[in-house]
Amino acid sequence: MTRKQHFIIILILGSLATISPFSIDMYLPGFPAIAEDLNTSIAQVQLSLTSYLVGISAGQLLYGPLLDRYGRKTPLYAGLVVYLLASLACAFTTSVDSLIAMRFLQAVGGCAGMVAAQALVRDLFPVNKTAQVFSLITLVIAVSPMIAPTVGGYVTAAFGWHVVFLILAAITALILVAIHFALPEGKQPDTTMSLRPKPVLQNFLAVLKQPQFLVYALVGGIATAAPFAYIAGSADVFMNLYHVSEQVYGWIFAFLAFAMIGTTQLNHFLLKRFTSQQIINFTLFYQTAVGLLLVIGTWYGWFGMYSLILLMFVFLTGQGLTNPNATALSLAPFSKHAGSASALMGSFRMAMGGLVSAAVSIFHNNTAMPMISVMMACALGGLVILLVSKRNVRYKASQLQVEEDTSVVV
Q: Residue 190 class from Cβ within 10 Å (0-12 exposed, 13-18 middle, 19+ buried)? A: middle
Section 356-361 average pLDDT = 82
Q: Residue 246 class from Cβ within 10 Å (0-12 exposed, 13-18 middle, 19+ buried)? A: buried
Alpha-carbon span 75 to 58, nearest angstrom: 15
All domains of the chain in start order, with CATH? 3-184+197-392 (1.20.1250.20)
Give yes or no for residue 281 having a pLDDT over 50: yes
Give yes or no for residue 241 having a pLDDT over 60: yes
Give pLDDT, residue 407: 27
Give pLDDT, residue 399: 37
**Digit-coded pLDDT (tens) for 186-238:** 777 777 666 677 777 777 787 777 778 888 888 888 888 888 888 878 888 88
Give pLDDT, residue 97: 93
Which of 97-111, 168-182, 209-223, 277-291 is least confident? 209-223
CA distances to 201, 216, 254, 344 from 378, rounded to whole Å, are 28, 14, 22, 19
**Digit-coded pLDDT (tens) for 58-108:** 887 787 778 878 888 889 999 999 999 999 999 999 999 999 999 999 999
Measured torsion, CA atoms of residues 217, 219, 220, 221, in degrees rounded to the nearest 10: 70
Give pLDDT, residue 168: 94
Give yes or no for residue 336 having a pLDDT over 70: no
Q: What is the DSSP secondary-structure string of 21-46?
A: HHHHHTTGGGHHHHHHHTT--HHHHH
Alpha-carbon span 173 to 219, nearest angstrom: 35
What percent of the chain is modeled with pLDDT above 70?
Answer: 88
**DSSP alpha helix (H) spans, 271-400:** 276-299, 305-316, 319-331, 338-362, 369-389
Number of H helices, E strands in the chain: 16, 0
